[in-house]
Amino acid sequence: MKHVFVFVVALLSQFCVMAQISTIDCRLAKSFINQNMKEWGGFVDELSVEFNKTHSPAIQFERAVVRHLYLAYLLFNDKESKQVAIQLDGLQKDIEDLEKTTAYSKQVLALKSPLLAYSALNNPVTALYRLPMSFSAAKTAVKECPNSEYAWAEYGNLQYCYALFIGGDFSDAVKSFKKAISIIESKETDLKCNWYYINSLLFLAKSYEDGKKYDDANRVYDKLLLLRPDYEAVKRWKHK
């Protein structure tokens, strides 16, 4: 009986954690489509409070992914913010902790790539060796965790940025984002609150768009609008 009680308590605890993540995800999705990325520091703080209560690896992984996108916003919009160093240190600590867990040791490999890329952006002197390491980390994540949407999406992010800033086509990024999207769609039925899915769709559209495949980009934009009719920015981005 004691073992059954412990199991039920553990099950209820896990259910509460997942319910909390689901609630935060819906607010993150709303903030994302409204382009209110300044709010994401508050979401990191909120997840930190929950993690300190529960010590749940699921909450910590969620926090790491939120830190990742918040860092992207900071580095391109507010690079002098003190939050850049704070979030870089926090992301590194989250990755190190999650690598020691059973559930997320492989999944978190995907976040090593953006951590290295952001560190290079924050300190350009290190870019010469950190950017190749970032690509290597992305390839390792895909190899070690081929069924992870995070591994494929982060690989796609790198391929997209490489094509955008260095030159080349966007076909590799398209393939990676499509793989990530397919994995997410195979796992979930209600996707409107999955901000990571929305972000992956957006960058698939941008990959088509920057590759001058405007009809393909519009099809993805239409899919986004079907999912989130309140995504007003997409209506501006669509090609006439």
Q: What is the pLDDT of residue 188?
A: 77
Cβ partners under 8 Å of residue 203, min gap 6 = 153, 156, 157, 160, 173, 177
Q: Average pLDDT for residues 204-216, to the nearest whole number? A: 96
Q: What is the pLDDT of residue 239?
A: 77
**What are the tens digits of pLDDT across the range 69-95?**
999 999 999 999 999 999 999 999 999
**What are the tens digits of pLDDT across the range 159-203?**
999 999 888 899 999 999 999 999 999 997 789 999 999 999 999
Domain 2-237: what homologous superfamily?
Answer: Tetratricopeptide repeat domain (1.25.40.10)
User: 1 falls in which pLDDT band (50, 70, 90)?
Assistant: low
Give dist(CA 157, CA 207) in Å, integer.
10
Mean pLDDT of the chain: 91
Q: Average pLDDT for residues 207-234, to the nearest whole number? A: 97
Q: What is the pLDDT of residue 15?
A: 37
Number of C-beta neighbours around residue 173 at 10 A? 27
User: 21 falls in which pLDDT band (50, 70, 90)?
Assistant: low
Cβ partners under 8 Å of residue 160, min gap 6 = 170, 173, 177, 203, 206, 207, 210
Q: Average pLDDT for residues 104-109, to the nearest whole number? A: 96
> Does 10 score more than 70 pLDDT?
no
**For 170, which DSSP code?**
S
Place of tokens 């913010």: 81
Q: What is the pLDDT of residue 167?
A: 84
